[in-house]
Structure 1
Amino acid sequence: MSNAVSTARQRGRAPATSEQNVTSTALHPIYGITGSNGAGLERYPVSVLALLHAKAMRLSTVFINERGGDEASNSAHYDALYNAQWDTLNAALAADLNNGRDVATVLGMIASQAQDSGDLEWLKIDDLKQLACRAEKATAPVLPTKATTALQRGRKLTAFGLIHRYQAFLIQELETIGWHVYGARDYPLFYRPFDSAVNTRCRTPDGRGRSPIFFNTAKLKSRASAVLRSLKIDTVKGGDTP
């Protein structure tokens, strides 16, 4: 990916010289690490990069408003703030995007930087193309990686048909929780709560010390059957399953 900072600095303020750089013993005003120059930002998630970018922009504006542009031009502290804006933006442009929120976050950072710099000449077409490709990948639907069998043979459910019916029940149960607890039907489908009691039970090995019982596929069919029968949902006959 092209480096947006190089073009931006050519057009505006030059990078700090060795005399202007924050010394190795100074605490960086954005990263909070002694002697840091932004190395390792590629390991940060987009959400953290956005927070650091916003902080750098905010403190840069405060510095200019309080001390003026003349003092900023000779200030190692301002150089650190200015460089952090572009370093975090570049890291975000190259970062992995995991969902639509990450895509929106990076676009928001671009918009903020454009507003601050007054143009978008620093943003390359290749940046946008690669961002679009990663955005498409991040928002693509999750697809199964295993082949499944028929839901029923004749009028009877197959093993997969039973699991499919169990899944249909579980989804509706989650939607019920969504409506009545959160006021949003689909919220539980995207929010995974962590509960110590559940985690402990799910991690308990079976009687032979093998994989945890709740991740043992041999138990899945019997558990599905037991749950459905307890709710008086048929576990044998097929029906109007898509």
Structure 2
Amino acid sequence: MITGHRGAASLAPENTLVSIEQAAKSGATWVEIDTQLSADNIPVIIHDKTVNRCTDGEGKVSELDLETLKTLDAGNWFGNQFEGTQVPTLEEALDKCVELDLTLNLELKTYDDKTIDTLVEQVVSVVKQKNYPLDKLLLSSFSKDALAICQAQLPQVRRGFICEVWNDFSLESLQELDLFSVHIDHQILNADIANSIKEAGLVLKIWTLNAPEKAQAFYDLGVDYIITDKPNEF
């Protein structure tokens, strides 16, 4: 059930190769990471719109080219033993997942609606170029537009919609996307929502649960996957 969030975000600097390694060492068979485009349209692995929180640099990811991003320290903020850790490219992350036999939940970060098409195109290009095993990949996003483009360009790859709100019309609005899964904030999940998602034949994922003692209750609701910063504790 366990998916390491941003690798294993409680054990190593999030969205780095060492974080992915820590998830695997913890026994997780799935890992979730985030991707967005650098200024030169290279898919890189980082969550925030800017590099400020998780590196020693400043500025928007979309305004920094790969060469600049690679000069940043993405580990020292977490602990000095991680000094020199780099922001990985999607290509490097795919290689790491193959090496560790992990299934990848890749979240497409869409901070700018104008670049959604380019982001999906570049991600699809890297996945195809690496000949990445498509049965080991799930593409997820808060953006229905991004998922629709994924559906058109890589229809055989599973798609997951991420949400932090849910209403009576949510399932209806997702039907055309032919989803594999819904990824819902665990804080809003209740039995009615869980039942509606499961009855629709969808896989149910929750994020980001860091309390192992609550796992059983969510399992009883029908949750299939738990995304957590602490895969080692689960």
Specify the structure having the higher radius of gyration (Cα). 1
User: Above 0.5 in TM-score?
Assistant: no
TM-score, with normalisation over the residues of structure 2?
0.23
TM-score, with normalisation over the residues of structure 1?
0.22
